[in-house]
Structure 1
Amino acid sequence: MASKKGNYKIPFNAAGDQQHYPEMEWVSGKRVESVMKDNFVFDDTLKFDGTARGRSAAYFYFVRSSTGTRVTVFMKEFSEMMPHLIRGSISGKFTFIKRGENYGTAFLGAEGK
């Protein structure tokens, strides 16, 4: 399925991590829904932090150096990022994408370009 870039909201958890799928979580014994934020472009350095499987997709975790929060990257976008990785990190411009019901992060290019 093709990815969709555009004007739609992206799910984040209470800690500020971008979610692969909007889900309710429990924080201090209280139910907390995902915070849906407008899509945006950002400059940052992302550092590889592991892998996971969702309902219907495998994805990678990266940590943003500017905020310490995590974002998810689909396998397809990860393969496009691989030539730009240096010791597990990648710097540049990023945005969020939607594929089906899932959300991820896409590399747009080097910073300043």
Structure 2
Amino acid sequence: MPVTEAPYDEQGNLIHYPKTRYTYANGVRTEIPYDWRLNEPFTATLKVTGFERGRSAARFFWADQDGHEFPMFLKDLDQMLMTADFTRGTVTGRWDVAKRGENYGLRYLGPADDADQALLVTRAELVHALAQIDIPEMPLPADGVITLSAESLADALVEALTSGKKVQV
């Protein structure tokens, strides 16, 4: 059965074993929930950061450009070694999350498409590009919703990312 959701912590790291966590603020025991995210394939460039041996499994750890960590089962690493192109411990590709028993880990799906690569930017690059977009002031409509076309916003983002200059929507 495919995994539909996967657990992440507050920093955006994939959790390999989502055990119940608690806080004891003011003498009251309160459960700390995980951020359960939809398991959708994504494109990323990841670098191997280490490994560990648990009671029932060995895991390798990968990190993206923003420092988010992802565990990977040894079995999935073995399959990836046969198909992925590595450059100094770094792999760019399509990924999703697999579940084995009660544990979660990253799974390599294959190389990234050219279209995926064109969209691969870090959060910092995206924030910088958004800051470069000049959206003209306009009166707020009665319904309170301002609509921008996806095409004009995408064009402005691409221009801001590639030129580094202020652009206008």
Give the TM-score normalised by the residue count of structure 2: 0.56
- The whole-number CA distance in structure 2 between the counterparts of 1:11 and 1:57 is 18
Q: Deviations over 1:55-102 (max 9, x none)?
A: 42110000012x320001100111122242221011010111111111
- Quote the offset at 1:53 in angstroms: 2.8
Higher relative CO (CA 8 A, sep ≥ 6), structure 1 or 2? 1
Specify the structure having the higher radius of gyration (Cα): 2
Partner of 1:21: 17
Partner of 1:82: 81
- The unaligned stretches of length 5 or more in structure 2 are 115-169
Q: Which amino acid aligns with 1:35?
A: D
Partner of 2:135: none
- The whole-number CA distance in structure 2 between the counterparts of 1:34 and 1:56 is 23
Q: Deviations over 1:4-29 (max 9, x none)?
A: 5x2421011111100101134578x7
Q: Which amino acid aligns with 1:14?
A: E
Q: Which amino acid aligns with 1:77?
A: D
Q: Assess if the C-alpha contact under 8 Å between 1:14 and 1:32 holds in 2.
A: no
Which structure dedicates a bigger proportion of its chain to strand? 1
Q: Assess if the C-alpha contact under 8 Å between 1:23 and 1:33 holds in 2.
A: no
Which structure dedicates a bigger proportion of its chain to helix? 2
When structure 1 is superposed on structure 2, of 88-97 and 7-16 the one drifting more is: 7-16
Partner of 2:95: 94
The count of aligned residue pairs is 107
Partner of 2:8: 12
- The whole-number CA distance in structure 2 between the counterparts of 1:53 and 1:25 is 22
Q: Which amino acid aligns with 2:38?
A: D
Give the TM-score normalised by the residue count of structure 1: 0.81
Structure 1 position 39 matched with structure 2 position 39: yes
- The unaligned stretches of length 5 or more in structure 1 are none
Q: Which amino acid aligns with 1:15?
A: Q
- The whole-number CA distance in structure 2 between the counterparts of 1:79 and 1:96 is 16
